[in-house]
Structure formats: C-alpha cells, structure tokens
Amino acid sequence: MVTDCKNYDFRKIEPFWQKKWLEEKTFHAENEGDGEKYYVLDMFPYPSGMGLHIGHPEGYTASDILARYKWANGFNVLHPMGWDAFGLPAEQHAIATGQHPSINTENNIQRFRKQIQSLGFAIDWDREIDTTDPYYYCWTQWIFLQLFKNGLAYVDDKPVWWCSELRSVLANEEVINGRSERGDFPVERKNLRQWVLRITKYADRLLQGLEDIDWPDSTKRQQIAWIGRSEGLELDFEIIPNGPKISVYTTRPDTIFGATFLVLAPEHEFVERVTTPENREKIKEYISNAKRKSDLERTDLAKEKSGVFTGRFAKNPFNGEPIPIWIADYVLISYGTGAIMAVPAHDERDFEFAQKFNIPVKQVIVSPQAQFRTLNNQNYRRFFNDSIEEDGSSESFPSEVYESEESHILPQAHFQTLNAPNYGKFFNDSIEEGGSSEPFLSEIYENDGPLDRDSEDVADSLPFCADGLLINSGEFNGLTTEEAKKQMAQRAEQLSFGKRAVKYKLRDWLFSRQRYWGEPIPILWIERSQYDRALAEKNAYFYDQIPADVVSYVKDGVEWCAIPIREEQLPLNLPETDTYLPSDNGESPLARMKQWLNIFVNLSTGDISMVPQTGFISAIRETNTMPQWAGSCWYYLRYMSPNCEKSLVDPRAEAYWRSPDFYIGGAEHAVLHLLYARFWHLFLYDIGAISAAQEPFRKLFHQGIILGSDGNKMSKSRGNVVNPDEVIQQYGADSLRLYEMFLGPLDAMKPWSMQGIEGVYRFLRRIWVLYVDGEGEMEEFLAEDDAAVDRLLHETIKKVTEDIEALQFNTAIAQMMIFINAAQKTGISHRTAVIFLQLLAPFAPHIAEELWARLGEAFSISKAGWPIHDASKLVRGQVKVVLQVNGKVRGEILVDSDATQEMIEEIAWQQSRFMGFLSGKRIIKKVYVPGKILNIVVNF
RNA sequence: GCUCGGGUGGUGGAAUGGUAGACACGCCAGACUUAGGAUCUGGUGCCGCAAGGCAUGAGGGUUCGAGUCCCUCCUCGAGCACCA
C-alpha cells in the first residue's frame, strides 16, 4: 500500500508513513532479542512554550540515522523520547496565569510530540516518559531517599547563591560570572538552610571514569577542570613566638624557600589571634570592607590586589626564616585551608601583591631554558660541551625530564621553543656516545670567550611559574621541581610539620530549590527529642533508613531532625495550590500551604495523618523541591522499563540494555547534567540499584548550533528564527532532515540558509523522477547497469556506510548526490534502484519507504538489511597517474592499473608537454607513488 | 590573562603528506516555454588572449611534494578565570 501521488508530494507521503510506523509500532524495541542491542539516546527536550526549535532536529536526525542504520543491520534498537518537563518557564507561566503548571506543561508536550513525530523519527513511543509524571518522579524521590540514607544528602546553612529575581538559590554550576545561568539575573550570597548532595565524595571516581569513555575532549577537559583535583602539601607555619600553627596548602612546596610572606583569607579563624593590637583597627576595617563586597566584586576587582599586614610573623618550617603574615581577600576561605604561603617569584598573584606592598621577591627556581634563550650560534655549542660529561651524560639535565617523543628539527629552532620537559630529550638525542654532538656543526662553534652563565642576560623574567631547577634552597639546590616536591613532602612528613593532601575545586551539589514546579523532597522534620526517643526504643520505622549522622538544623532554639517518608508512600505528590510565587525570604511556595505542611506521623509505622491521633507526633514537611537536573539524572534508565512499578528500572531490562551506546546533545550540558548524571549513576551502581555499567554514557557527541542565516544566534529580537513547522510545510521533513545533515560537520556551528535547503529538495525530487514517471507509474529499469554506474554504486555503499559510522553525514549525502547525478544520465537497474533506497532510508526515510513499497518490496525498508559493497567492483582497469616536475603538475596519463614504474615512465617520456619541462634539465631523483603520481626532481 | 578548537572560492563546506576547492548554494550562458522565482544542459578560485603564473589568515621551516607536520605572529570561537 502506498500513496497515490504522481509527483513527489511529500505532504501526502510523509504523514502516510508516519502514521503507519506509529500504528504498526515499527520501531518498538523489546527488552530482549536475537540481534545485538543498540541504545541510541537523545538529550530529551524541555517542552517549552515556544515549540520545537530548528536546532532540535539536528541532534535528533543524527541519532535517528544511527538508529535506522542499526535497525537495518539487524540490531535491536532502543531509540526513545521523553520530556524534561519540570522547570522555571512553566512555573512562571503558572504565576502569571494562576493556572496549574501541569496544564501548560501537558499542552507543550502535546505540541512537541506532534512536531517530533512530524519529522518521522524511528522512536519507540511506547517508552515515552515525562519527569513531572508522579509515576516517574516517584523514583526520583526514591533515589533521593537512598542518597539520604547513605549519608550523601544533608542540610547545610552555609552561604549560597541567591537570585532575588528568580527567588531561588542556585548551584555553583548555575552561576556564571555572578549572574544566573538561566535568565542572566544578578545573584548574591545569602545564608540559607539548604539540601546538599555530597558529590565531592565521588570526585576521584568522577575524574577516573573520564579516562576510558569516548567523549569530546573539550567536554572531558571541562569536567576535569570543574572537579579541579590538585595534589600538594599542607604545611604548618608556626606563629612567632610560640603561637599556634597556621596550616597552608600548596601545590608548589618546591618553592618554599622563596616564600616571603603568608596570607590568610579575611574569614580565617586565626585572623583575630595573629593581629597585633596596633593593627587591630586597620584589620577590622579591611575585613568589614571585604565582607561588604559581593563575591562578584571580589573577583571582578581581581586586577588590583588589596590586603593588610597583621603585625605578626610566622616561621618557615624549612629554613626557620620569619615571614610576615598578611590578610588579603585574594585568598579564598572556601578552598584549601584558607591560608597560603606566598611565593612572589613564582606565582603571579603573589607577585602582584608583593609588588604593590613592597615585599621582597626571592627567586628559587630557574628555567633551564633561561640559558638557552640568550645563547647565540657562537655560544650554544660551547654551552653544550661545558655541560656534557665525558661519558655523554649531562649533569644539569637530568634524564627524568626526557619524556616526549618529538624528533628534532634545527637546533636553533629548538632553543626557541623547548620547554622544560623537552630539553632533556633534545640533549640526549643530540649527544653521541663519545660526548660529541652531531647535529651541532662545528663551524658555528667559534667563540672562545668564557660562557657567562650568571649574566643578567640569562635571568628569568619574574614571576616564573613553570617547573625548573631549584636554587637558593639549601640542600635542595639543583633538584628539579618534580624531585624537590617529592623530597620536601617526605621531609615534612618525617619531621611532622606537614602532610600530603589532595584538594578539589568541586563543591557539594546544592540540591534544593524554592520553587513549586519540582519534585517535592520526601522528608519530614521532627524534634530532636522525638527522634532520639524513637531510635532508643528501636521502634522507629525509619530505623534503617537514616544516615549514620543525624541530619538536623536549629531554628528558634529547636533542633529539627530529618526523617524519610516511607518508600511505600511515594510518590509524594505536589500539593494543589493556586499561588505559585515563591516568597522573597527564601522559602518555597509549599511553605505557605499550612495544611499540607503541618502533619502528624506515627514513628513506628510511618503513617501520616492530617489531624492529631494517638501514637502520632507532629511533624513538618520539607518544603523545598528538587532542581530541574534531578529528573534528567536517571531518565535514560527509565526508558529501559518505563512502566516498571517495583523499581526504578527492571533489573532484567537494565542488564539487557546496560547503558546508552550513543548519546547526543548540546555542549551546554558539559558540566551540569553530564556531571550530575554520572554521579547518580555511580551511586546507583554502588547501592546495587543497577548493575550493568559504572559509566552511564560511554560515547557522547555534541551537535553544533544552527545559527540564523545572518550568522548570528537565532533569536526573536534579531528576527532570524526559522520555524521547523514552516520548513516541513514548504519542503517536507525529509528535506529538513537531509538539509540539517548536509549543512556541514555535525559538531560545527553552521548558519541556516533557505536557499541551501532548495538543493536537497531538488535532490529528493530528482530521485523521485528517476523512479516514478509522470503518471505515477514506476519507470522501466535497465536490465543491467552501465559498468561505471555499477562501480559508483559500490563506491557509494562503501562511502555511506563508513561515513555513517564516523558520523560524517554531510559527505555521505554528497556521495549519494554524486550517484544520483550519474544515475540520472544512464538510468539504473531494478536491483540498483532497490539498493540505493536502502542507503537513502536512514536520511530520508519517508521517500525511501514510499519508493520501496512502489518497487514491490515488503514493509519496512528500515528492517530490510543493509547493502554491503563488493570490493572487486571497486577495482579500476585503468588509473590516472599525475606527472609532476619538482612537485608541480605537468600532465597526466591513463595507464593500466597494474603498470610498473618503468612502463609508466616510458609512457610519460612520450608526453610532449611533460617533456618540455624536463628538457635541458638534469634528473636528480624520481619519486613514484604507485597508481597516483610520478614526480621528477630536476636541477637547472 | 590561561587552556583548547578553528581560519580553504561570492556562500555552506570537501580533501589517509600526493592533481586544493568534492557536493551543494549563488552567479553566468543556453534549451524548453506566453512566462519563469519550474525543469534540463554547459560554465564558474584569482590574474592572463594564450603559454603560463598565483592561490588554503601572515611569515618562516621540514619534505621530491604541505591546507595537512614543526616554529613565530595575527584573528575568530569556546571554556576557565584569584582554586595557591
């Protein structure tokens, strides 16, 4: 059954097949199967009121091509779609209209579903999920309870980012340069009680896990930077005389002999104690100034350092030297120990500070290249000979730094560019066994003057922050940075004035939001005395559901303790209300709903009552909700068994699908979603909720952004927004899909062009005309293909297959265009017509399915197998060999593909034009690249 | 400032160290047409009548041969930004 179109009427063809795929559940995946499984995942969309953006189909088409390609290859493919539907816009709509956000959300989902379906994706719609569906967020809440139970969710009263515009707190990751990621509103620091997830406990595993997953480098780098692991030393500096010890953290203990002052953050606990009476006033003022500055100002004013001297000194544990203690706000209380040893010679910030306050700068590290940098041709050889021992070894250049694998170029070029890790290699490579140095021609070794290694010429410019060799560092002199770090750590630990330490930039994840439209946190608060009593009597229903350390906070002199809602009571539904606006004091709208808020709980059963009852005590509900990231942290698991009622994922389904084989989505989620989801996945793995894989996304890809035709980001205000519905109406879904893939490399930023889409539309129409005549009847196909077309077909099979595997869809489409251009001229056989459609189907499934059916083939082309190229058909009888003289093209000849170099030369000598370039010249060399190039090198 | 990733015709973009510009858009010419913003055919990097020369951000280097490898600089984009 096909449509009745005579021409390429995509408006009929596309809905026809979309309906059929839906009705027949063509792309339904079973949780078992004969074929190998393949799980293709798109980052699910937030169903905004704006409808589908033209950028959405880019990633979705890419994943759809893969899905259909894998179906054709006999895989059991899971390609699902769902909705990340909690979020701010729906809530703001609710605030504005007074209408429950679920209504608006549902409308948006309907629209998105319809739009996505109109693109003909091979999606299993039976597995559609919605994060705002209580049957879904039930399990989001369940995961939270497990985090709570395992001590990974706790409340904290530390300063958090507060955005008064959004009336909500934000996670560190959601704050960019002192403004909210969403909406770009200003944020400020505020002390609020908040739920926090202990993601820092997973810092090391989140780092290690990156090593063997196939992700874009930039995304890996971003996560590595965000986790910010550093190894260093915590060192004790004793306050003189006999004061307490200030612990500082440093990653550069090798520079400690250059420490000329010590800095405490203004919030450091020792500030009071170290300040001498005459400095007290000054310090007080400085601290209150620092406090007034927002974090934004503190970082914004980074150019100009500020600080005050405390009047006191501390003793350098390595050399006993007294160094002044300063207070300065360029040191952050939130990292390390909140105190640093400052080494101005080897740290830019310390240098800047020292310059401003006239503190001595003492160089203790020299760069080996400092000497190279200034050596001229006459001197460098001398320098070498002076440095190299008789046995060829080189004292100043320890072999440890001989690491990289570069080959050498010109000696001089090397000097300009060698960095510390490479210079040793250069030496070792250059020096012969006898101590001589071949690459350094003796002609340039002329100057007999003494080599002045101490002259100012060779000095490093300060601050010098790279690795190097130690000077002015007592017994550590001459060591490399690397070796010195080791030895100094050992020394510090032996004499117990320091210890090795690992620090992270990653902070715990601020997990609560003061919003209505989010998952309620399934926690109750009861008074400490009740909590303790229930535990002592061992009848608490939550006995084995709470962390080892009580989670509590104190308000108005009462300590409240967190207990979980019984798992069987999940989902904890959002209570109905008609006021969605958060209060401006940092409380969620839920806090206003007194009836819902104040309840009674039976501590032995976990039962909840709205009214007082015997055996029930009063409790308060947690009123914060979860951030939008919560639902997207585990949705890929829910797709595996979307209706499972017993657990978040059916263990059998999870064991079968394991984790997505391919994940595609925007690069804007590089740290947020992708870090949070990895954290939850590791946790779920640890508690045995899942078992198949420790990393959720083994292969990740970011599609690029599609810009407006003016090269700018699409935006309403610029008026360069392209509406996918209109494009589909005008050119069809196949054209849209094809065009977005043809635009350029998948990961590149590309400007949209309405003229460009005409090209792929013509391509599809030419295909139609090749198959169908003006009456809607199939064309008469050739009995046999032209040999060249046959070869081209096999080249096309090969190219399209390889390009799909490599995600190079633009060149795959170009190859299909080449094929059609040729086929149009000669005509094709029925067999070839069938094969070409199979190649086309993942890209333009509607027209392919239609023509497939018209050829009399069985539904559906997407399951009809994938053609394999015949290598023997690719062999050409004759090949073109390009003739070059000194690398310039001077002709070409057609020869048998098995021709030898001699035979080719013989033919070449007969080419008059070519010979013209050779006459009167002496042939120095002949370079023959088999079947491609004959290059004759001549002299004049 | 630091770290990455780019820079190729009028445009989007192709090119395992081996004929730079595939494919497409646009443009030019022609055909069919009452008509063409439909379709088809041919042409199209720049200079030059041609022979030929010049061309992948600029400059240098390695190589028989460089868009591709190395160095310096310019420039655009992304990320990070007092994390000691």
> What pLDDT, in 10s, does the model give residues A305-359?
889 999 999 999 999 999 999 999 899 888 999 999 999 999 989 998 998 999 9
Q: Is the CB of A754 under 7 A from strand B?
A: no
Return the minimum-mean-pLDDT range out of A413-427, A607-621, A668-682: A413-427
Neighbouring residues of A720: CB distance < 8 A, sequence distance ≥ 6: A708, A709, A710, A712, A714
- For residue A709, pLDDT beyond 50: yes
Q: In the structure, how far is the CA atom of residue A844 from the C1' atom of nucleotide B37, in angstroms?
A: 26
Neighbouring residues of A15: CB distance < 8 A, sequence distance ≥ 6: A118
> Confidence band (pLDDT; 50, 70, 90) for A538?
confident
Q: Is the CB of A744 under 7 A from strand B?
A: yes
Q: In the structure, how far is the CA atom of residue A911 from the C1' atom of nucleotide B48, in angstroms?
A: 25
A311 phi, psi to nearest 5 deg: 95, -10
Q: Name the region of A309 (left: φ>0; alpha: ψ -120 to 50; beta: rest).
A: beta
> Confidence band (pLDDT; 50, 70, 90) for A477?
confident
Find the nucleotide nearest A222 (Cα to C1′). B79
Q: In the structure, how far is the CA atom of residue A581 from the C1' atom of nucleotide B6, in angstroms?
A: 45
Residue A920 identity (one-letter amino acid): G
Q: In the structure, how far is the CA atom of residue A789 from the C1' atom of nucleotide B64, in angstroms?
A: 36
Q: Strand A933-939 and strand A878-885: pairing? A: parallel
Q: Is the CB of A268 under 7 A from strand B?
A: no
A393-421: average pLDDT: 31
- For residue A545, pLDDT beyond 50: yes
- For residue A526, pLDDT beyond 80: yes
Find the nucleotide nearest A713 (Cα to C1′). B77
- For residue A427, pLDDT beyond 80: no
Q: Is the CB of A329 under 7 A from strand B?
A: yes
Q: Is the CB of A762 under 7 A from strand B?
A: yes
Determine the angle formed by the axes of helices A809-826 and A830-840, rounding to 10 degrees.
160
Q: ∠ at Cα A206 (A201, A212), nearest 5°?
A: 155
Q: In the structure, how far is the CA atom of residue A181 from the C1' atom of nucleotide B11, in angstroms?
A: 34
Amino acid A451: pLDDT: 33
What would you report as the CA-atom Rg of chain A, rounded to the nearest whole angstrom? 35
Q: pLDDT of A446-474, one tens digit each?
A: 232 333 333 333 456 778 888 888 888 98
A673-684: average pLDDT: 96
Residue A834 identity (one-letter amino acid): V
Amino acid A920: pLDDT: 78
Q: Is the CB of A818 under 7 A from strand B?
A: yes
Portion of chain A with pLDDT greater than 70, in percent: 89
Nucleotides of B under 7 A from a protein CB: 3-5, 11-16, 18-20, 22-26, 39-41, 52-53, 60-62, 64-66, 70-72, 77-84
Q: Is the CB of A730 under 7 A from strand B?
A: no
Amino acid A585: pLDDT: 76
Q: In the structure, how far is the CA atom of residue A759 from the C1' atom of nucleotide B30, in angstroms?
A: 21
A79-99: average pLDDT: 91
Residue nearest to nucleotide B3 (CA to C1'): A221
Reduce the DSSP state of residue A596 to 3 states and report it: helix
Query: Which range is most confident: A371-380, A438-447, A676-685?
Result: A676-685
Amino acid A736: pLDDT: 96
Find the nucleotide nearest A407 (Cα to C1′). B70
Reduce the DSSP state of residue A10 to 3 states and report it: helix
Find the nucleotide nearest A806 (Cα to C1′). B16
Q: In the structure, how far is the CA atom of residue A664 from the C1' atom of nucleotide B9, in angstroms?
A: 33
Residue nearest to nucleotide B51 (CA to C1'): A913
The model's pTM is 0.88
Count CA atoms within 13 Å of residue A594 on its CB side.
0
CA A609 to chain centre: 46
Q: In the structure, how far is the CA atom of residue A889 from the C1' atom of nucleotide B44, in angstroms?
A: 22
Return the minimum-mean-pLDDT range out of A457-471, A520-534, A687-701, A824-838: A457-471
Q: Is the CB of A817 under 7 A from strand B?
A: yes
Give CA torsion, residues A298, A301, A304, A309, to 10 deg: -20
Q: In the structure, how far is the CA atom of residue A567 from the C1' atom of nucleotide B2, in angstroms?
A: 49
Find the nucleotide nearest A766 (Cα to C1′). B39
Find the nucleotide nearest A887 (Cα to C1′). B65
Find the nucleotide nearest A750 (Cα to C1′). B12
Q: pLDDT of A357-401, one tens digit each?
A: 999 999 898 876 554 433 433 344 444 444 443 333 333 332 222
Q: Is the CB of A933 under 7 A from strand B?
A: yes
Q: pLDDT of A289-317, one tens digit each?
A: 877 665 556 665 556 788 999 999 999 99
Neighbouring residues of A648: CB distance < 8 A, sequence distance ≥ 6: A139, A142, A143, A634, A637, A638, A684, A689
Q: Is the CB of A925 under 7 A from strand B?
A: yes
- For residue A626, pLDDT beyond 70: yes
> Confidence band (pLDDT; 50, 70, 90) for A165?
confident
Q: Is the CB of A763 under 7 A from strand B?
A: yes
Helix (H) or strand (E) holding A674: helix A672-686
C-beta within 7 A of nucleic chain B, residues 376-435 of A = 409-410, 413, 416-417
Dihedral over Cα of A158, A164, A170, A172: its sign:
negative
Arithmetic mean of pLDDT over chain A: 86
Return the minimum-mean-pLDDT range out of A155-169, A316-330, A345-359, A719-733: A155-169
Reduce the DSSP state of residue A23 to 3 states and report it: helix
